[in-house]
Structure 1
Amino acid sequence: MRIGIVIGTGHGMDGTTGSLVRELLDRIGAHVDQVRTEIVGTDDLGLGPSCPACLACMTAGEQACPNYDRTAAARRLLDDSDLVVFATPVHSFHVSASMKRFVDHFAYLIHRPAHLGKPAVLLSTAAGAGHDAALGYLKTAVRRWGFHTVAQLGVNGPGLRKPAYRAKVDAALDEIAGTAVEAVTSGTEPTPTTADLIGFRVARLLVRNTTENGPVDEAYWRERGWFDAEWFTDTKVPFVANKIAALVEGRIRAGIEKGSADPYRG
């Protein structure tokens, strides 16, 4: 099994987050004869203070990104792995800054998902709270890239010194390892949810409305037949969820055409 690790901390595999990843890998190794791992540290990619937001990856293709060469190792990892583990410390109730930069530099995958059906595991560590925001953000982001999250775990670092909490983390890691292996070996893609189907339709709408400025996206979708599909793959789409997604799409389309969409006010 080929496992890719994207770890969002300058401590790499030596800190609390890296230790949690290693513990998961050890447990996966107990289920699989051979495990090959590849690790990319987001701090080591040299992506600069932030994504330049030039949109070149959207309009001209990912190779037009000024940091394209710096993300080469990460692209190979995402492409070649059977399972990808995304791990981040929680910084100020969110993912680390370098993990956020990493996600931003793969924004084109929101328009051109390339990892459909591939399982992901999400891990976070914190001295306090924030796992919900950090893991929730990662789950949403990688889902738009095509990944489906099969398990997630947020761990309180100081709590690991307490036997009762440590036992709960160990039990969770045991369960996650089995789930991850099953996800890879079965190759089963989960049924798309209502949110997934809405995301598909909104992405399709955006690609259709920006063909003049985004011919790369249009060609990608047209080549795969997605303009005439109900989902990215042949997985059966739930009838009711699809109808709800269609209604939402219609309202969004009308709002865009009439300019009547409301600004966000919380």
Structure 2
Amino acid sequence: MDFRVGVVLGSGHGYHGTTGRLVTDLLDLMRARVPGDSLVVDTVLTTELDLGPDCPACLSCMTAGEAACPNFDAAAPARRVMDGADLVIFATPVHSFQISASMKRFIDHFAYLIHRPAYVGRPAVLLSTAAGGGHDAALDYLSTAVRRWGFHTAATLGVNGPGLSRETYRGKVDRALDDIAAKALAAPGQGEPKPSTADLIGFRVAKILVDGGRDEGPVDAAYWDERGWFEAQWWTAQKPPFFANRIAALVEKKIRKGIAEGNADPYRA
């Protein structure tokens, strides 16, 4: 039985750059753990998606459905890779302490998934490489973005590119990759993990946005109605942790009150 891995690679150097080589190393370790040619890899390079200079922010994907996006056909290769995968590897170089511009453009074009998550229960591995620092910001953002689409992170790794030339550091990276390879292969069979407090707050905020936008975005509301999510506490039927869910409920109540009374405060850090 095939194990399908989708790779979304946000590097302009493709598999020839440091990020691409890190992905290759991980895939090689995964192949070594499965029989024959059962590991099937499908890749999309974000730099090769003809998405224009940026997302037009027209909100058509949310109000009229993703097919209404002017770049719907151009984004199709990425959609096929994610749809067909048992696990998706999202990999990006760190550019100026964040994900690459092409990876950000890719994420922006799938913004409707924040309202209509399609990958609940699907595991992801997040990788980044940098000449210096910035892994925390880049990987945290990437983790938050794909979590809102339904993915849960099975493993994360940030690597210093120049450090790979040093034997000691290279050895640590290799051991980390070997550990991640095992976790990645096991992840699809382990199911959706228990949601965190942040997950549950994100679910409830999405519920508020979709419910409050029924008139402007009936597509979103219909998606939620079909799945019974307006009456649910989480995407799946599993019972959320009590205290985390209680905190999320209180946050939801506060947000709804602020919206109803018009007294929500602007963000001032």
TM-score between the two structures when normalised by the length of structure 1 = 0.98
**Equivalent position to 1:143, from 147, 163, 186:** 147
Give every structure 1 segment of 4 or more consecutive aligned residues whose post-TM-superposition deviation is greater than 3 Å. none
Q: Distance in 2 between matches of 1:191 and 1:5?
A: 25
1:242 alignment counterpart: 245
The offset of 1:240, in angstroms, is 1.2
1:193 alignment counterpart: 196
- After superposition, the C-alpha distances for 1:157-209 in whole angstroms (9 at most, x for unaligned) are 1000001100100010000000111112x242100111111111111111110
1:136 is paired with a residue whose SS is helix
Equivalent pair of 1:117/1:187 in contact (CA under 8 Å): no
1:24 and 2:26 matched? yes
Q: Distance in 1 between matches of 2:248 and 2:237?
A: 17
1:173-192 aligned within 5 A: 173-184=177-188, 186-192=189-195
2:127 alignment counterpart: 123
1:35-50 aligned within 5 A: 35-50=39-54
**Equivalent position to 2:223, from 217, 220, 223:** 220
1:232 alignment counterpart: 235
Alignment gaps of 5+ in structure 1: none
Structure 2 counterpart of 1:50, which letter?
D
2:94 alignment counterpart: 90
Q: Distance in 1 between matches of 2:239 and 2:34?
A: 30
Q: Distance in 1 between matches of 2:33 and 2:202?
A: 35
1:112 alignment counterpart: 116
Structure 1 counterpart of 2:57, which letter?
A
- Say how many residue pairs are matched: 265
Structure 2 counterpart of 1:74, which letter?
A
1:61 and 2:65 matched? yes
- After superposition, the C-alpha distances for 1:55-107 in whole angstroms (9 at most, x for unaligned) are 00000000000000001111111111000000000000000000000000000
Q: Distance in 1 between matches of 2:190 and 2:133?
A: 34
TM-score between the two structures when normalised by the length of structure 2 = 0.97
2:163 alignment counterpart: 159
The offset of 1:30, in angstroms, is 1.5
- Percentage of pairs with the same residue: 66
2:266 alignment counterpart: 263
Structure 2 counterpart of 1:78, which letter?
M
Equivalent pair of 1:150/1:183 in contact (CA under 8 Å): yes
